[in-house]
Amino acid sequence: MNQPSNVSLSYRDAGVDIDAGDALVEAIKPMAKRTMREGVLGGIGGFGGLFEISKKFKEPVLVSGTDGVGTKLKLAFELNRHDTVGIDLVAMSVNDILVQGAEPLFFLDYFACGKLDVATATAVVSGIAKGCEESGCALLGGETAEMPGMYPDGEYDLAGFAVGAVEKSQIIDGSKIVPGDVVLGLASSGIHSNGYSLVRKIIQVAKPDLEADFHGRKLADVLMAPTRLYVKPLLALMQSMEVKGLVHITGGGLVENIPRVLADNLTAVLDGSSWTMPPLFQWLQQHGGVADAEMHRVFNCGIGMTVIVSKENADAAFAQLQAAGETVYRIGEIRARAEGQAQTVVE
């Protein structure tokens, strides 16, 4: 029979600080409140987030997406910069559901760590709230998991979950794309959140001064620039004209993502000279000795989103997106695919 122990243990002794968790929830509440929008029922603190779909939808279809920030977090730990990775987290999911025509409605986050540092977690969530505000979606809830022994000291992991809605008749699936349609490219804000395992390897080899000037900014700032949110300009474009295809350029780059919206008999022919690869990508390629084909498969190379419209609407789409603050390039066109031809060709 076990003898009773004279030791009195608490959850804090096991490495979990309930008070820190409560303090984080209180810090989050005003941030979440700023993201509230029509449809939210209740606020942070319940067991589940409640959201009522607007009556403006006649046949609403829910579109969901989930993603993380990947090994960009490793760089955030090294630089002790936590205020922008939350924007990355939101952008990776809302940009994904946007390409099917969906308006992002709400977002949920999962923050996991070994020991909860309230200041660090608050900085991360402030970025999540900012990303939600810029996307017009509500930060409806989330989970903070403090799990001693699961993560190294000072490190954490993130996951995000977005839900949006689109009218069933207005789902964008690429089925209307035909030869002659135009491919527009929207500039990225940097590397976004893909390819950081290679980025970190190049940094390890090149050993640059991350605090040194790089085209007017610190190299660290350029490397950590958050993923661009394309939600509001593209939702507005969808309201004014038919958008046949949208592609979020993430892992796989232009060459592997554009085919996801093309029928087997179509190919996207891109003019590689129609935009200039930003200095950061040139630096990465030079210092890593990365082949062109590998650059195109790993990085966005300066194009974070592509928009496919009819030739007749191309100029108007270009002008509207530019007026909304996007840097826009006319990067290619859709053609009939020859036998054996790749579905994205960069010439």
CATH code: domain of residue 34: 3.30.1330.10
The answer to whether residue 107 is domain-embedded is yes
Joined together, the tokens standing for residue 186 give 């929207």
On whether both 79 and 164 belong to a single domain, the answer is yes
pLDDT for the residue numbered 71: 94
Which residues touch 33 (CB under 8 Å, ≥6 apart)? 43
pLDDT for the residue numbered 287: 95
pLDDT for the residue numbered 5: 60
- The stretches of 14-165 forming alpha helices (DSSP H) are 18-33, 72-79, 85-98, 118-135
The answer to whether residue 331 is domain-embedded is yes
The answer to whether residue 1 is domain-embedded is no
On whether both 189 and 72 belong to a single domain, the answer is no
Domain that holds residue 266: 182-346
CB 15 within 8 A of CB 148: yes
On whether both 331 and 254 belong to a single domain, the answer is yes
Q: Which of 170, 198, 223 is the last residue of a domain?
A: 170
On whether both 222 and 146 belong to a single domain, the answer is no
210: domain CATH number?
3.90.650.10
The answer to whether residue 177 is domain-embedded is no
The answer to whether residue 254 is domain-embedded is yes
The answer to whether residue 5 is domain-embedded is no
pLDDT for the residue numbered 11: 63
pLDDT for the residue numbered 44: 67
pLDDT for the residue numbered 29: 81
pTM: 0.92
| 307: enclosing H helix or E strand | strand 303-309
pLDDT for the residue numbered 31: 78
Which residues touch 145 (CB under 8 Å, ≥6 apart)? 110, 111, 112, 113
On whether both 249 and 155 belong to a single domain, the answer is no
On whether both 94 and 146 belong to a single domain, the answer is yes
pLDDT for the residue numbered 72: 96
Q: How far apart are CA 108 and CA 27, in angstroms?
A: 16
Q: How far apart are CA 242 and CA 170, in angstroms?
A: 9
On whether both 30 and 67 belong to a single domain, the answer is yes
Q: Which of 109, 141, 170 is the last residue of a domain?
A: 170
Q: How far apart are CA 339 and CA 128, in angstroms?
A: 45
On whether both 147 and 273 belong to a single domain, the answer is no
The answer to whether residue 176 is domain-embedded is no
pLDDT for the residue numbered 67: 95
On whether both 226 and 90 belong to a single domain, the answer is no
On whether both 24 and 107 belong to a single domain, the answer is yes
The answer to whether residue 273 is domain-embedded is yes
On whether both 27 and 138 belong to a single domain, the answer is yes
Q: Which of 149, 170, 191 is the last residue of a domain?
A: 170
pLDDT tens over the chain, length 347 residues: 565 566 676 667 666 667 777 777 777 787 778 888 888 887 666 778 888 999 999 999 999 999 999 999 999 999 999 999 999 999 999 999 999 999 999 999 999 999 989 899 999 999 999 999 999 999 998 889 989 989 998 899 999 999 999 999 999 999 999 999 999 999 999 999 999 999 999 999 999 999 999 999 999 999 999 999 999 999 999 999 999 999 999 988 889 999 999 999 999 999 989 999 999 999 999 999 999 989 988 999 999 999 999 999 999 999 999 999 999 999 999 999 998 899 988 88
CB 138 within 8 A of CB 37: yes
On whether both 203 and 259 belong to a single domain, the answer is yes
Q: How far apart are CA 126 and CA 142, in angstroms?
A: 13
Q: What total number of domains does the chain contain?
A: 2
